Chains A and B, each alone.
Chain A
Amino acid sequence: MANYNLKINGQNLKTEASPDTPLLWILRDHLGLVGTKYGCGMAQCGACTVHVNGEATRSCVLPVSAIADATITTIEGLSENGDHPVQQAWDTIDVPQCGYCQAGQIMTAAAFLKKNAKPNLEEIEAAMSSNICRCGTYHRIKEAVQLAATKM
Chain B
Amino acid sequence: MTKNNSRRDFLKSAALTSSGLILGFNWFGQEALAAEVVAGVSTEAGNTAFNAFLSIQTDGIVTIFSPNPEIGQGIKTAFPIIVAEELDVDWANVKVLQAPLDTKKFERQVAGGSGSIPHSWQRLRKAGATARQMLVEAAAKRWGVSASDCTTEKSFVIHTASGKKLGYGELATEAAKITPPTDVKLKDKKDFKLIGSTIKGVDNKAILTGKSLFGIDFHREGMVYSMIQRPPAFGLKLKSFDATAAKVSPGIIDVVSFKDKVAIVGKSTWEVKKARDLVKIEWEKANTLESSDDHNRIFKELLDGTKNEVRRKDGDIETAFKDAAKIVEAEYQCPFLPHNPMEPMNFFAHVREDGVELVGPTQTPQNAQNQTAKLLNIPAEKVTVELTRMGGGFGRRLGTDYVLEAAELSSIIKAPVKVMWTREDDMGGGSYRPAVRYRFRAALDKQGNLIGYSLRGAGINAGNPTRQDNFPAGAVPNLLIDSSEHKSAITTGPWRAPITNFLAFAEQSFIDEVATAAGKDAVQFRLELLEKAKTAPTGAIKYDIDRMKAVIELAAEKSGWGKKKKGVSLGFSVYFSHASYVAQVAEVVMKKGKPVLQKIYAAVDCGVVVNQSGARNQVMGGIIDGIGHAMYGNLTFKDGKPEQMNFNTFRLIKMNEIPAIEVTFVNNGIDPTGLGEPALPPTGGSVANAIFKATGKRLRNQPFIEQDDKMFESVS
Contacts and interface: CB of A to CB of B under 8 A. Distances in A.
Interface of A: 1, 17-18, 20-22, 25, 28-30, 32-42, 44-45, 47, 74-76, 78, 82, 87, 90-91, 94, 96-103, 106, 125-126, 128-142
27 contacts: A35-B211, A39-B344, A40-B647, A47-B342, A75-B208, A82-B205, A87-B208, A91-B205, A96-B201, A96-B204, A96-B207, A97-B621, A98-B72, A98-B390, A98-B391, A99-B203, A99-B204, A100-B391, A128-B655, A130-B654, A132-B652, A134-B392, A136-B620, A136-B628, A137-B620, A139-B658, A140-B617
Interface stretch (B267-275, B452-460, B518-526, B581-589): B267-275
Contact of A97 (B74, B217, B340, B344): B74
Contacts of B207: 96, 99, 102-103
Interface of B: prevailing SS = loop
B213 A99 contact: yes
B697 interface: no
Contacts of B204: 90-91, 94, 96, 99
A37 B391 contact: yes
Contacts of A76: 209-210
A32 B219 contact: yes
B210 A21 contact: no
A94 B200 CA distance: 5
B658 A138 contact: yes
B342 A98 contact: yes
Nearest to B648: A44
Contacts of B209: 35, 75-76, 78, 82, 87
A137 B560 CA distance: 26
B389 interface: yes
B210 A100 contact: no
Interface string B644-655: 001110001111
A60 B212 CA distance: 18
B422 A41 contact: yes
B333 interface: no
B447 interface: no
B647 A45 contact: yes
Counting chain A CB atoms within 10 Å of each CB, which of B203, B213, B225, B647 scores highest?
B647
Interface of B: 70-74, 198, 200-201, 203-205, 207-214, 216-217, 219, 225, 250, 268-271, 274, 340-344, 389-394, 422-423, 613, 617-618, 620-625, 628, 646-648, 652-658, 660-661
Nearest to A142: B655
Nearest to A35: B210
Given A41-B422, A75-B210, A134 B217 contact: no
Contact of A101 (B217, B269, B342, B660): B342
B270 A21 contact: yes
Given A91-B200, A94-B613, A136-B653, A39 B423 contact: yes
A29 B270 contact: yes
A96 B214 CA distance: 14
Contacts of A28: 217, 269
Nearest to A100: B391
Given A102-B208, A125-B655, A135 B214 contact: no
A135 B72 contact: yes
Contact of A42 (B208, B391, B646): B646
A132 B342 contact: yes
Closest 5 CB pairs of A and B: A35-B210, A98-B72, A100-B391, A136-B624, A75-B210
A99 B269 contact: no
A106 B205 CA distance: 13
B217 A34 contact: yes
A74 B210 contact: yes
A66 to B, nearest CB: 15
A99 to B, nearest CB: 4
Contacts of A100: 72, 214, 341-343, 390-392
Nearest to B623: A136
Contacts of A25: 268-270
A76 B212 CA distance: 11
A126 B656 CA distance: 7
Contacts of B623: 136
A77 B467 CA distance: 51
B623 to A, nearest CB: 7
A29 to B, nearest CB: 4
Nearest to A33: B210
A74 B393 CA distance: 25
B471 to A, nearest CB: 26
Contacts of B344: 38-39
Contacts of B394: 134
A135 B658 CA distance: 13
A90 B623 CA distance: 21
Nearest to B626: A136
